[in-house]
Amino acid sequence: MRLGFAPSRRAATDLIAHGRVRVNGRRYRKGETIVPGDRVEVADTPVAEGLAANADLKVTTLYEDAAVIVADKPPLMPCHPLRSDERTTVMNAIVAAYPETAETFDKPLEGGLVHRLDNGTSGALMIARNREAFVVLREALRAGRVTRHYRALVTGRLDGMIEIATPIAHHPKNPRKMVVVENEASSDTPSAGPVSARHRSAPRPAFTRVEALSYENGFTLAEVTPRTGNRHQIRVHLASIGHPLAGDELYGAPPLEGLDAGRFWLHLAELEFDSPAGGRVKAVAPLASDLEDSLALARVKFEGLR
């Protein structure tokens, strides 16, 4: 018979994950150990979760109006925290400068974040300043009315323009990865196929346009424009045609000199959209310095592209 606040191991894990367990007055994480004499307390109600402001963390603002902010996400900085005690994400910095971006949104730890970028990606990131703008911008994103132009460095030689339209699903064994799903018709519906034993999720339609810009020394610099917004879409689509992003070891590319572990060569350089405050917005994010450095090391020509 189990006693106490948690009738099962899963319930105990949930108590810890939601911040309801304190040891000697400090929040403990799953896996930390306690010793005889420690004081363990469990809150009767969940601890309120929300975005903590971090004024010491600086993130550049590329554009702002009454409805939306476009921030310049640094490489390897997460977009939002996964726990309320995390303070080193883009949203922690944004909330310090724009407190309204943490209010009245469906997911307290994401606030007004309209879309996400992988930790290893840098560049332009949209954040709504009120709920009305959030709804409008999310719908515009889903409907393809937000144009996203990425700069990508891929392994091997690409020429001209390529359209990739292979559906994407979660990898059946590795939760960190996505996979392309061959021989399944894509569509404009939310799902391109049923969940099966081969996938951990229903394959979703995905459309990516890739245009080669320059080539040298085994790499192609390209402009990538996704029409849909699936997890890892650009990464898995490029890997599926044999040209993974430089440095993207998760999808089969070798590490690239000049990039830290977990960083790969992908940058959201331009966002174009209609602001809910009025007017067409074009926000441009300068190429991140580590990508500039790695380009120099790889001797890739990119004159005129900055």
Query: From the CB of residue 36, how many other CB atoms can be counted at a distance below 10 Å?
Result: 4
Judged by DSSP in three states, 70 sits in strand
Of 38, 44, 65, 118, the active-site residue reads 118
Q: What is the pLDDT of residue 237?
A: 98
pLDDT digit string (tens) for 23-33?
A: 876 666 666 77
Contact yes or no for 79/91 (Cβ under 8 A): yes
**Range with the poorest average pLDDT among 81-95, 109-123, 170-184:** 170-184
Q: Higher model confidence: residue 249 or residue 33? A: 249
Say if residue 268's pLDDT is above 90: yes
The C-alpha atoms of residue 181 and residue 187 are separated, in whole angstroms, by 13
Across the chain, how many H-helices and E-strands are there? 5, 14
Confidence tier at 78 by pLDDT (50, 70, 90): very high
Q: What is the pLDDT of residue 216?
A: 82
Per-residue pLDDT, averaged over 122-137, amounts to: 97
Q: pTM value?
A: 0.79
Q: Round the average pLDDT of the chain to a whole number and report it.
A: 87
Tell which residue, 227, 221, 306, has the closest CA to residue 265: 221
3-state helix, strand, coil in the chain (%, to 5): 20, 25, 55
Q: What is the pLDDT of residue 9?
A: 72
Distances (CA, A) of 32 to 29, 128, 231: 6, 37, 31
Amino acid at 73: K
Question: CA 28, 30, 32 angle in degrees (round to 5)?
Answer: 65
With tokens 């592209």, the residue in question is: 305
pLDDT digit string (tens) for 277-292?
A: 999 999 999 999 999 9
pLDDT digit string (tens) for 189-204?
A: 344 445 444 655 689 9
Confidence tier at 188 by pLDDT (50, 70, 90): very low
**Catalytic residue flag (residue 72):** no
Confidence tier at 187 by pLDDT (50, 70, 90): very low
Per-residue pLDDT, averaged over 140-153, amounts to: 97
Domains in the chain and their CATH numbers? 10-42 (no CATH), 61-145 (3.30.2350.10), 151-267+288-298 (3.30.2350.10)
